[in-house]
Structure 1
Amino acid sequence: MSITQTPSGAPGSAPGDEATFFGHPRALSTLFLTEMWERFSFYGMKAILVLFLTASVANGGLGMAEGSANALFGAYAGLVYLTALPGGWIADRLIGARRSVLYGGIVIALGHYVMAVPADWSVFPGLILIVLGTGLLKPNISTMVGNLYEKDSVRRDAGFSVFYMGINLGAFVAPLVTGWLADHVSYHAGFAAAAIGMTFAVVQYVIGSKRLKENGAAPTHPLVGAERKRTFRSIWIGVGVAAVVILIMALLGWLSVNSVVDLLAWFTVAVAVVYFVRIFLDKRLTEVERSRMKAYIWLFVFAASFWLIYDQAGSVLNQFADKNVDRTVGNFTFPAAWLQSVNPILIIIGAPLAGALWVKLGHRVSTPWKFAVGLIFNGLSFMLMAAAAQAAVSHLVSPLWLIAVYALQVAGELAISPVGLSMTTKLAPAWYASQMLGLWFVSTAVGDAIGGQVAKFSDGGPSYFLILGVASVLLGLGAFGFTRHIKALMRGIH
């Protein structure tokens, strides 16, 4: 941590508040550490989830088929980000971002503690609680980070890159802990470690909340009066319809893991489409806001395409590491989950460099250009993965293959993910501040949900990786051609 003078009038600072965090507002430290421990819990559990689902019952797993486990993993990852949309709405209209983060953290911790119970029934209730809690926490903590900066400040991207380091510090340590516990104690012991990490997140957030001052303390557009009654009536009707659908599926014998996973995947896509339509039909949007939302659709599609490939690291690539990678060093065979730590450590190294690069380049390089670069790197990673899969046909391959794949993906991620968070807060219409952060995470939900469906057909062979890799590169090249058009739609936002 560096302690320097806070620029006068910086958002999130108060007169006489001179301490800063890596040259950024002091409140960033509280949000940084909360996100770090929350990501420890999330990625710690995620690193061993597919391995647990596919492990035999005798080895402490659920014994699911690989295709079904991949689809379930994708649906779970998608729902984690899909619930960010109602989570943002709850903050905007009901309780504010600050309490949303707190309540979400508590629910996430409960979910991990449920999964830590050594019984088969504990897994799905635990996953549901984690999904609901993350939906409350994830978009709103990012909104609070955005509140620390002026809307068009060049320091904004750098601030989100520092915040992103917190995400990846937790993501780096977590698989090392949970992977070892899963291999040497039990999968449920790994889930327990994730629960303890989330407990640290909640405690740290409460202790550091005084630094946040009024940031996120109240809803931006409180839901009151007749509108409140209409909204809650609609919510209860929706809950009732969902209950009826579930009951009908159960009576018809359609309520299997695979059918529910498929339904959730396409429901995720439908939500994104409906929400965009809803925003564009909102008469409160100004002409400038409407134009910026048109630009945002392009960025949303690019991001979803990126995550479709990228987040298969926890499913398809994790299984490849378990079966096809030589993980023996001397007399020690390290857990497959440990390779899940490669990606975040590379981001920890690269995030400050990327942050410095964006500050140096300023407005000379646009967000659409960065997205195009990210898609190309992502595609190249799966093209390299195709070569690794081809080599694995005859023998176990070196873990260096996966390390190189993750390095390419990290280069792409640093051009899309923290930049996308920042851009979302810039392009957001006034009436959709926190909800737009939720919508940004829906791009990940859509990518993960479709990616889970695609991963059902993976046989670990080279053709699977090659097809997806070439498609991503071609999409990235196409994105370069639309850069000028998207910039024009952004109406002065860089």
Structure 2
Amino acid sequence: MNAQNLDNPNNFFESKVLGHPSGLFVLFFTEMWERFSYYGMRALLVMFFTASVLGDHPGWGWPREHAMSLFGSYTALVYLSTMLGGYFADKLIGFRWAVIVGALLMTLGHGCMAVETPFFIYLGLGLLVFGTGFFKPNMTSIVSLMYKDHPEKKDGAYTIFYMGVNAGAFFGILLCGYLGEKVGWSIGFGLAGVFMLFGLLQFYFMQNIFGTIGLKPIKAKDVVIDKDDTDKRVPFSSWQLIIVGLCSILGLIWVINDPVSKISKGAQNLLNFNIFGMEGTNFTILLALVLFLFLLFFRLTQYSKITRDKLYAVTFFATLTFSFFAVFEQAPGTLTIFARDYTDRVLQGDASLIFLIANSLIAVVPLGIITWVLFLLFGQTFKKFALANLILSASFVIIWMITIWMLLRDFYGAGHLTLSDDTLSMLKIEKVKENLTQIPASWFSVLNSLFIITLAPLFSKWWESKYNPGANVKFGIGMILLGLGMAFLVFGARDIAPGAKTASVSIVWLIFVYLFHTMAELCISPVGLSYVSKLVPARMIAFMFGVWYLAIAIANKVAGILGENSDAIAAEKGISYFFLIITGVAVAIGVTSILLAPLIKKLMHEVK
């Protein structure tokens, strides 16, 4: 029997694909389309804002400072909203409806952005913030609950799920980025919404495959308490909750006011005041930071020594994670702009042909593998969930059509392929031969997902070997690799004069940047949350995860601020100097992390 036993709706392993429950692959494809839409839109946003208002492909003509400011606030709010979405799921509507609400809001958000007017762009970004907050944290919660009775399978499940995340990001950047840059911004934004809709419908019509998981919030009596956790409880007092509320309000005011005040050129600025000789913005940031650090370290002092030491270690790792993402998140902003304005993306002759063949393999091989997994899922679920399977199959027919169209268009446009007039008309390809290939600026961002899929198994083997380094060393290696990645641009951009608006740097340097940054990500991103779960008592995990995501949210905003200042530094000392500063800071933090390894190891109290 392929469908789940009606007497035991949570017997997930009765219907399996590749040794895992069919429901895992429903989540895989839902997450894949959500990441497709999120990263596809993200790849275009800064370029759309900064594109000239003139020409055949007009944007909004914003200064980079304005675009980076808005983008930094948007990504920060996306991470902050996960706390709101998690709360609603836990207390009110359950994981399943949170995913459905989030997917619907994101579908509407992408649809709004396709209109391209200011009102609909801002409305779309707002819907995407709240939609992602409802969607993102609750998908992983469903995975966790599915494997509650099979912990030995959980690592493999998260690996498969993570592949869905990266596959979605890969195809979203590849296809939305291509259509947005080559055809029209609204087409790229709209395509992201189309596939988010497919993900929503597929999940909605196949949700019964999850049995009773996520139907209602988990009540306090259902939460498993760690019996070995005998440390004293430290509940939040009234004054502490007031500080939490004040920090939240100040932080939101700063994050939202920053782009609003810059885009309106000061006409709308809630922080237009001075206190103690400080500008309102700086005062607000400093006050929120001081209050937050005071509350954090005050609470840490209230626990027993062992718990306190472990929480100090988690705080240290959260600080390193903040530093990592402040640099890593230059990719959709500063690095994409560098690709567009300073990189020689035009290939001719053999170079053009080699790139097009490589790009075809990069696109077709992963898509073929995922389509094969789709057929395996059909074999297990089609009889019971025919409509959902038909919707999912329709999404793949469309993705194959767009991919083949993109590849044919590029081969024809570069003069490597001859097509009849009828074929050109049917495929909507203009009869223009340029005899060259121009790589989309957004294309370089696909390298991150490609390198993750390629390198993740190697790093996993490293972590399982006898040469597995400690936590500090992993973080240190990651920060050093991050800095070395930027060092390639320090060298590659060395001849770009201060104030230059364009240049022709080789694409090789950006490829190396993404290679090293991906290796850095594999050292830090998956490892960090693992150490939180190991070091923090079970009852405090939700709170410390909140602190962790808060660090990432602030890092995304700081990444935008760094990007804002790149133009000023480039105008005075050259863009190479901007990358040199980031290189030096990242490497210094990495070395410091490694040197502090004995101290942090002591604070971790034998936790591996």
TM, length-normalised to structure 1: 0.82
Q: Is the 8 A contact 1:268 1:446 kept in 2?
A: no
Summarize deviations over 1:170-204 as a string: whole Å, max 9, x none: 11111221222222332111110111121122223
Which of 571, 577, 585 is the aligned partner of 1:471?
585
| Counterpart residue type for residue 407 of structure 1 | L
1:196-207 matches, cutoff 5 A = 196-207=194-205
Partner of 2:426: none
Partner of 1:30: 26
Q: Is the 8 A contact 1:82 1:441 kept in 2?
A: yes
Q: Is the 8 A contact 1:142 1:421 kept in 2?
A: no
Partner of 1:7: none
CA distance in 2, matches of 1:258, 1:63: 26
SS of residue matched to 2:171:
helix
- Note the C-alpha offset of 1:334: 2.4
| Counterpart residue type for residue 130 of structure 1 | L
Summarize deviations over 1:296-340 as a string: whole Å, max 9, x none: 111111111001111111111100100111111231212211112
SS of residue matched to 1:315:
helix
Q: Is the 8 A contact 1:161 1:352 kept in 2?
A: no
CA distance in 1, matches of 2:315, 2:473: 15
Q: Is the 8 A contact 1:265 1:450 kept in 2?
A: no
Partner of 2:134: 136
| Counterpart residue type for residue 296 of structure 1 | V
SS of residue matched to 2:505:
coil
Partner of 1:457: 565
Q: Is the 8 A contact 2:312 2:603 kept in 1?
A: yes
Partner of 1:51: 47
1:28-427 matches, cutoff 5 A = 28-58=24-54, 59-147=57-145, 159-220=157-218, 254-255=267-268, 270=288, 274=292, 277=295, 281=299, 290-330=308-348, 331-358=436-463, 360-361=464-465, 364-393=468-497, 395-427=503-535
Summarize deviations over 1:371-417 as a string: whole Å, max 9, x none: 22211111111111211221445951221110110000000111111
Q: Is the 8 A contact 1:156 1:422 kept in 2?
A: no
- Note the C-alpha offset of 1:118: 3.5
Summarize deviations over 1:220-251 as a string: whole Å, max 9, x none: 4569xxxxxx9xx99xx98x98999999x999
The two structures, once aligned, show a CA RMSD in angstroms of 4.1
Q: Cα gap change, 1:478/1:146 in structure 2, threshold over 3 Å: closer, same or farther? A: farther
Summarize deviations over 1:43-68 as a string: whole Å, max 9, x none: 10111100001112234311110122
SS of residue matched to 1:57:
coil
CA distance in 1, matches of 2:66, 2:545: 30
Q: Cα gap change, 1:219/1:277 in structure 2, threshold over 3 Å: closer, same or farther? A: farther
Stretches of structure 2 that go unaligned for 5 or more consecutive residues are 1-7, 222-237, 273-279, 349-435
Tell me whether 146-155 or 445-454 shows the greater mean CA deviation.
Answer: 146-155
Q: Is the 8 A contact 1:161 1:418 kept in 2?
A: no
- Note the C-alpha offset of 1:159: 4.3
Q: Is the 8 A contact 2:475 2:523 kept in 1?
A: yes
Partner of 1:8: none
Q: Cα gap change, 1:437/1:288 in structure 2, threshold over 3 Å: closer, same or farther? A: same
Q: Is the 8 A contact 1:87 1:438 kept in 2?
A: no
Q: Cα gap change, 1:95/1:309 in structure 2, threshold over 3 Å: closer, same or farther? A: same
CA distance in 2, matches of 1:15, 1:254: 59
Q: Cα gap change, 1:464/1:283 in structure 2, threshold over 3 Å: closer, same or farther? A: closer
Structure number with higher relative contact order (C-alpha < 8 Å, ≥ 6 residues apart):
1
Q: Is the 8 A contact 1:84 1:134 kept in 2?
A: yes
CA distance in 1, matches of 2:604, 2:534: 10
| Counterpart residue type for residue 139 of structure 1 | P
Summarize deviations over 1:336-367 as a string: whole Å, max 9, x none: 11112111111121223333443x33895433
- Note the C-alpha offset of 1:284: 11
CA distance in 2, matches of 1:475, 1:273: 25
| Counterpart residue type for residue 185 of structure 2 | Y
CA distance in 2, matches of 1:335, 1:471: 30
Partner of 1:17: 13
- Note the C-alpha offset of 1:484: 3.7
- Note the C-alpha offset of 1:41: 0.6
SS of residue matched to 1:136:
helix
CA distance in 1, matches of 2:141, 2:525: 15
Q: Is the 8 A contact 2:12 2:22 kept in 1?
A: no
Q: Is the 8 A contact 2:108 2:124 kept in 1?
A: yes
TM, length-normalised to structure 2: 0.67
| Counterpart residue type for residue 324 of structure 1 | Y
Tell me whether 180-189 or 103-112 shows the greater mean CA deviation.
Answer: 180-189
Stretches of structure 1 that go unaligned for 5 or more consecutive residues are 1-11, 224-229
Partner of 1:5: none
Identity of aligned residues (%): 33
- Structure showing greater radius of gyration is 2
SS of residue matched to 1:60:
coil
Q: Cα gap change, 1:180/1:268 in structure 2, threshold over 3 Å: closer, same or farther? A: farther
| Counterpart residue type for residue 454 of structure 1 | L
Partner of 2:234: none
Q: Cα gap change, 1:216/1:431 in structure 2, threshold over 3 Å: closer, same or farther? A: farther
1:448 aligns with 2:545: no
Partner of 1:3: none
Instruction: Count residues with an aligned counterpart.
Output: 471
| Counterpart residue type for residue 468 of structure 1 | I
Q: Cα gap change, 1:420/1:207 in structure 2, threshold over 3 Å: closer, same or farther? A: farther
CA distance in 2, matches of 1:213, 1:477: 49
Q: Is the 8 A contact 1:55 1:63 kept in 2?
A: yes
